[in-house]
Amino acid sequence: MEISNCIQGSDEWFKIRCGVPSSSNFDKIVTTKGEPSKQAEKYGYKLAGEAIAGKAEETYKNAAMERGTILEDEARQLYQIVNDVEVEQVGFCKLEGFGCSPDGLVGEKGLLEIKCPMMATHVEYLLKGKMPTAYFQQVQGQLLVMGREWCDFMSYYPGIKPFTIRVERDEKFLALLKAELSAFCVKLEETINKIR
């Protein structure tokens, strides 16, 4: 596994992950049941285009996304204090042909994934008390790439108690995910070669 120490969101970070399937988009490759996603083909075309052009296509970033980026450091500091741990920040991490950008490494076995959603969403997470399904592939994908045992999923909104839940590896899903990612990467390489 390759670990870059570039700052997430920097030009270098965008360049390293350009054309590479990333865990934040693994839901476009595989469903929560481990089946191929209907979005895989189009996502593959996007990545092939990035690989040829050498740059990522500009994506829309709304005010909530900007806010999340700003609050992430605050959330990370709170997590460190509450759990009395050091969180190591890393850039883009790559395994075989795919990768991830975890929000932090915790000790030798753990990861941290931070979300800073809107107030209503954060309250919903607190009330439901489980990791939102929307992030299942991302979190399991990070565990696969990083070879870690668990990931603490944290939702943070200033002035409201944080929601943190530990997510363990789902080995059955990870086997399906790895198979789908490998097949996706082969197809991606074929597409790149056809349009080069």
Q: Kindly indicate the confidence band of residue 57, based on its pLDDT and cuts at 50, 70 and 90.
A: confident
Q: Could you give the strand order of the β-sheet that contains 110-115, starting from the edge strand earlier in sequence?
A: 87-88, 104-106, 110-115, 150-157, 160-168
134 secondary structure, DSSP code = G
The model's confidence at residue 196, banded by pLDDT at 50, 70 and 90, is confident
CA dihedral sign of residues 135, 139, 144, 145: positive
Burial of 170 (0-12, 13-18, 19+ CB in 10 A): middle
Tokens coding 171: 């080995």
Percent of all residues in the chain with a pLDDT value above 90, rounded to a whole number: 81
The reported pTM is: 0.93
pLDDT tens track for 87-133: 999 999 999 899 999 999 999 999 999 999 999 999 999 999 999 99
- Output the pLDDT for position 68: 73
- Identity at 96, one-letter amino acid code: E
pLDDT value at position 3? 85
Number of residues written out for the chain: 196
Phi, then psi, of 104 in degrees rounded to 5: 170, 155
Question: Domains in the chain, please, with CATH?
Answer: 2-195 (3.90.320.10)
Give per-residue pLDDT as tens, 157-172: 999 999 999 999 999 9
Rounded Cα gap, residues 11 and 70, in angstroms: 17
